[in-house]
Structure 1
Amino acid sequence: MALPTNTPSSWLQGTDFPSRLFESGTDDYELYEEDGEFVLTVEMPGFDPEEITASWDDGMLNISAEHEDEDRDRRKTYHRRFRFPKTIDDEAISAQYNNGILEVRLPVETGATVQGREIEIEG
């Protein structure tokens, strides 16, 4: 059975589902490596810095935020996880939020590599 290849809004037309529930591959972030560190920028407009939480746990960066708009009786949430392929100096991770953009800098430990193994592919 093939999955639909058209956009969610067209195959959900006439249903009560908001098509935003099924969006994938959103481009709300950019990740690149520069001068021995990863730089992650995430577009998060409408949040205050104290509403954003960033945490590091064993190679995984978690970013979440929650905003209550009591005047409009609405709640806005954000959650995303990023896994990093190299060993990060977790004591040197820094984050800054400015004009709706969260920037997280994750320095790579020099000389460190993530341990792994080759996985045999059966055929």
Structure 2
Amino acid sequence: MALRPSPSSSWMSGLDFPNQLFEMGQDDYELYEQDDEFVLSVEMPGFDPDEIEVTWDEGVLNIAGEHTDESRNRRRTYHRRFRFPKTVADEDISARYRNGILEIHLPVVEGAVTQGTEIEIEH
């Protein structure tokens, strides 16, 4: 007996609908710490710098973008939030968008340490 496609996959097969739509955003960024700053690189190909908004609010970096391709009648949106564990020098945050990559530098306040409580691990 041959397997029939499930109803959800058969109705989507005829549409010009990318399968990765629901998976996108998992590996679209890289975050690392170097030389007393966080560096965040986000892949956002096809966006113009004017279509991207980067905001900082009390330890949370918010990145939002909206791109409309009128020739294809398509709209793409991007939204992601990042919470940082150390105190960042708000005034010194910088961002640059080039070749589809948004790169943000978030300098850590000198002497800042991560606040928290050690959690005991049971054996």
Structure 2 length-normalised TM: 0.78
Residues 7-46 of structure 1 aligned to structure 2 (within 5 Å): 13-14=9-10, 16=12, 19-23=19-23, 26-46=26-46
1:109 CA displacement: 0.4
Q: What CA deviation, in whole Å up to 9, does each residue of 1:48-88 have, x standing for no partner?
A: 00000011111111101001111111100001111111111
CA distance in 1, matches of 2:102, 2:73: 25
Name structure 1 gaps, 5 residues minimum.
1-9
Q: Percent identity?
A: 67
1:25 CA displacement: 6.8
Q: What CA deviation, in whole Å up to 9, does each residue of 1:19-72 have, x standing for no partner?
A: 435427721111111111011000100000000001111111110100111111
Name structure 2 gaps, 5 residues minimum.
1-5
Aligned to 1:66: 66
- Secondary structure of the residue aligned to 1:115 is coil
Q: What CA deviation, in whole Å up to 9, does each residue of 1:63-121 have, x standing for no partner?
A: 01001111111100001111111111011000000010000000000111233223567
Aligned to 1:56: 56
The change in CA–CA distance for 1:25 and 1:48 in structure 2 (over 3 A counts) is closer
Aligned to 1:108: 108
Aligned to 1:79: 79
The change in CA–CA distance for 1:68 and 1:18 in structure 2 (over 3 A counts) is closer
- Secondary structure of the residue aligned to 1:109 is coil
Structure 1 length-normalised TM: 0.78
Between the two proteins, the alignment pairs up a number of residues equal to 113
The change in CA–CA distance for 1:40 and 1:77 in structure 2 (over 3 A counts) is same
Matched letter for residue 71 of structure 1:
S
